[in-house]
Each structure stands twice: as structure tokens, then as C-alpha cells.
Amino acid sequence: MSISSLPQIVSEEEWQVARQKLLVKEKELTRALDALAAERRRLPMVRIEKDYVFEGPNGTASLLDLFDGRRQLIVYHFMMAPGSDHRCRGCSSFVDNIGHLAHLHARDTSLILVSPAPFTQIEPFQKRMGWTIPWFSSNGDNFNIDCGAGKGFGLSIFLRDDDSVFRTYYSTARGVDRIRADFNFLDLTPYGRQEDWEDSPEGWPQTPPYIWWRLHDEYEV
């Protein structure tokens, strides 16, 4: 790698000045994100009137069942179409980034995966990936469509009040990938995610997005 592909080399004092300058902007962003989260917590909600039916490892389940007794439910809409052999690398890497669910459970919140594919199609792939996150099929139902995910991916948030369920939030695209740990770690490094949409200095290693993504058992490194 040529020297032109490296950050500028400066003294410790110069580095501290540059770091403190960036820190001011980082703190401004943190406060802006805190304010945005506060506004998100004040969004209105919509009562779910439909009786959705899901299939999981223990048979059929209702939307209320998916809360597993907790007040809040996070649903990741995992792209897996009925009868398709395609296994979404983006969705898979997102799930790889989810930590131990005990931390969410401690805040009265459940997290699950939902796909339109039948459960018989989901289960073998879940075992291959070694995931223990609850995963349900919405096959034959319009749950994904009604939530706005359609045939794609997304993140839906629900709140339960006794037996009533309400939809409070939905996001997709960059709104979802911003919470991935690996992307956040890479964003701290000099080369970032190394994708060609990023604003990086000339000579930085970059590839088109997506093409480097693999299922975690497919990487050669």
C-alpha cells in the first residue's frame, strides 16, 4: 500500500487538536440523536386490528404471543421468500450483529425475526447460522406488507397494553443499518466501510457496496 493511501502523519500535539475538533462535532451529533430519540418516543401509535397468524418452533402463534409476555416487541423483517433458495446476506449479517437478548429482556422488550417463507424453510437456515433468536413465519399472511416491509427488510416496533397491540415505529434501509455494530465499528476506522459511496480521501480502498458481503460461514478470511 502506498503512502498516499495512509492518513497524514502528524505530531501528538497536532493529533490532539484535530481529535478535539472532531469531538465537538461528535458531541453535537450525540445530542441531536438524543433529541431525535426523545421525539421518536413521542410518536403516536396505531392499534393493530388484524389477527395475524405466525408459525414458529412450537406451532402457530398470534402477534400477542410474539411478545412472550413483555410490553415491547422489536420485529426484524428478514428477507426470505417462499420457495426461494436466496439467503439474504444483508439480513444475515444484521442478525449476526444482534447481541444476547437478555439485555433487551431486562427492559421488558422482546426481539424476533419474521419472514414470509414457511417455517420449514426457515428452520434449516437458522440452524446452519447457529442463531437462537426466535424466528417466525408469516407465510400466507400480509404481515410484512401491512408493516411496510413488503418483500424487503425492515424493523417494526410494537407496544402491548394488556391484550391490545399497537404499532409505534418502522424503519428500513439506512435507518436499519445504522444500528449494526460492525458498521459502527468500521465507521471509527481510517478506511471506514471501504465502500465507494463513502466520502473518503483519494486512494482509500473501496469496493461497490454489497459485493463483499457474505454469510458468516462463507468468508475466506
CA–CA separation, 191 vs 204, rounded Å? Answer: 6
Q: What is the pLDDT of residues 149-187, one digit of tens each?
A: 999 999 999 999 999 999 999 999 999 999 999 999 999
Cβ atoms of 174 and 85 within 8 Å: the answer is no
In CATH, what class is 46-176? alpha beta
pLDDT of 128 strictly over 90 = yes
CA–CA separation, 91 vs 75, rounded Å? Answer: 13
Q: What percent of the chain has pLDDT over 70?
A: 98
pLDDT of 108 strictly over 60 = yes
Give mean pLDDT, residues 194-211: 95
